[in-house]
Amino acid sequence: LKEVAQAAKNVCGHVGTMGIALDAVTVPGSKHVNDRLDDDTTIEIGLGIHGEAGMRQSSMMNANDMAKELIHSIQTYGKTTENDKIVPMFAEGDELCVLINNLGGTSNFEMSILTNACVSHLESSNYKCTVTRVMVGSYMTSFNMHGASISILNLSSAPSELHVWLDADTDALSWSACDIWNVSGSSSRPSFTEVPEVVVNKGHASNKMELPKISIPGYECSSMVSDMIRSAAQALSEAEPMLTKYDTIVGDGDCGITMKRGATEILKRLEEEGSKDLDVTHPVPLFATMADAVSASMGGTSGVLLELMFRKMSTSLARSTDITPRAMYEAVQEGVDAVSLYGGATAGSRTMLDALIPYAQSLRDTQGDLVEAAQKAKEGADGTASMKTASAGRSNYLSEDTLSGTPDPGAIAVSIVAEAISK
């Protein structure tokens, strides 16, 4: 035990720790609620594990600024030498071990961002240190405190056996393994190396085959097609707050953001002069490149299904010898059928299909009356608000009380696009 105590004392003499939190903690059983950080715009620096007051409060910071604040405080607080002299905790060129501790209520995503910020700052020109060991996890928590603490151990000045102890295997359940790097002097941290983008040949298949003739009046005026796409994308982007509100109630809250990402990407490709990333000159490459744009920007199920729809529309038209208005309506129908097939839903399932199906059917029935089709899509979308159950999508496990009165955001997005195109 004396050896253990001495080892602990050696570590304490070469390590500095400081915490930061967005929310304080109330000790269970306490009649007093710790509400000093109830303001969503205020954080506290240096607070204790039990919620003790820190050295100061601050307005909200990003992860980089948090890292700078904590690292500067730890370094300047310093350590005491054998001669009782206080010196900085670490100096340029020192080898460090950094431990990022989750105080209880911080997501892994946030922890990773903070870890990256801390290591980057320590190895930057500001300090020029080498972080050879990184430890991230919930080592000592404070119930659900939304925050983290940073501990910096100076390995250059600490006893050499600390390296062995840090690197040793352990079966302790809550002790996250140490990430070891640069022990042999390699020059580039793997996690800092950006993975190069896989460059795909942008020449679409449609460029290598003879495209069908277009027999749609006015289509040769590509500006009309561009205007329709631009109008739809802008309308969808502007509707993001409303779609997010609906999806927060009946979904996972990301529908508005996902749709806006897709719309923004399509607009970006549309506005790039001379770009073939969104080819409006012919329906076959148009829908193929729209599928590419959706694939590159939209996540989640909706992104996958919309990509499938546009891809199916493109391949359907590519098989035609003459793209007539009727062929276009049939392609829309085939695209919607693909969404139904692979998404496992149909009309009445409380999904985007409640707007897509009547839209496609109306186009066929009216021979392309966009205004009438848009009205049918709107009626279908609005009708989802009165559906008591959902058989597909994120809403299928929600109660009738939760669903009642809120339309499906995916269906609403379809109706917004349909209305914008009709104008």
Spatial contact of 74 and 22, defined as CB atoms under 8 Å apart: no
Q: What are phi and psi of 284, to 5 degrees?
A: -65, -55
Q: So what's the pLDDT on residue 249? A: 85
Q: Is there a contact between 238 and 261 (Cβ–Cβ < 8 Å)?
A: no
Dihedral sign for Cα 355, 357, 362, 364, please. positive
pLDDT for 184: 61
Mean pLDDT of 379-391: 81
CA–CA dist 137, 152 (Å, integer): 15
The pLDDT of residue 343 is 87
Average pLDDT over residues 372-379: 94
pLDDT at 180 over 90: no
Res 51: pLDDT: 75
Instruction: Determine contact, residues 256/247, Cβ cutoff 8 Å.
Output: yes
Of residues 301, 327, 302, 304, the one with CA closest to residue 314 = 327
pLDDT (tens digit, 9 = 90+) per residue, 142-171?
888 899 999 999 999 888 888 888 888 888
Contact present, 347 and 391 (Cβ < 8 Å): no
Average pLDDT of the segment spanning 210-236: 84
Residue 381 to residues 70, 209, 352, 370, 414, Cα–Cα distance (Å)? 50, 39, 8, 16, 8
Average pLDDT rounded to a whole number, residues 379-402: 71
The full length of the chain comes to 423
**Tokens encoding 55:** 């050295």
pTM for this one? Answer: 0.57
Q: In the structure, what pLDDT confidence band is assigned to residue 1 with cuts at 50, 70 and 90?
A: very high
Rounded to a whole number, what is the largest CA-CA distance in the chain?
92
Assess whether pLDDT exceeds 90 at residue 177: no
pLDDT bin (cut points 50, 70, 90) of residue 222 is low
- Summarised one tens digit per residue, pLDDT across range 112-141 is 999 999 999 999 999 999 999 999 999 998
Q: Within 13 A of 235's CA, how many CA atoms are on the CB side?
A: 18
Assigned token pair, 151? 């501990």
The span from the CA of 267 to the CA of 269, in Å, is: 5
- Per-residue pLDDT at 260 exceeds 60: yes
| Whole-number pLDDT of residue 272 | 78
Closest CA to 133 of 183, 83, 202: 183
* 3-state secondary structure (DSSP) of residue 56: strand
pLDDT at 179: 81
Task: Tell me if residue 293 falls in helix, strand or coil.
Answer: helix
Token readout for 352 is 């985007």
Output the six-digit token pair for 169. 């295997």
278/347 Cα distance (integer angstroms): 31
Mean pLDDT confidence for 69-78: 92
**Taking the mean position of all CA atoms in its chain, how far away is CA 142?**
27
What was the pLDDT predicted at 276? 59
Residue 387 backbone phi and psi in degrees, to 5: -75, 130
Q: Give the tokens for residue 243.
A: 């779609």
Element (H, E) at 165: helix 161-167
For residue 400, is pLDDT > 80? no
**What pLDDT score does 29 carry?**
73
User: In Å, how far from its chain's centre is CA 326?
Assistant: 40
Angle between helices 370-383 and 353-366 (to 10 degrees): 150
pLDDT band at residue 197 using 50, 70 and 90 as cut-offs: low
Mean pLDDT, the chain, rounded, equals: 86
pLDDT of residue 189: 64
**Local structure of residue 298 (DSSP, 8 states):** -
Two structure tokens written together for 32: 């007093």
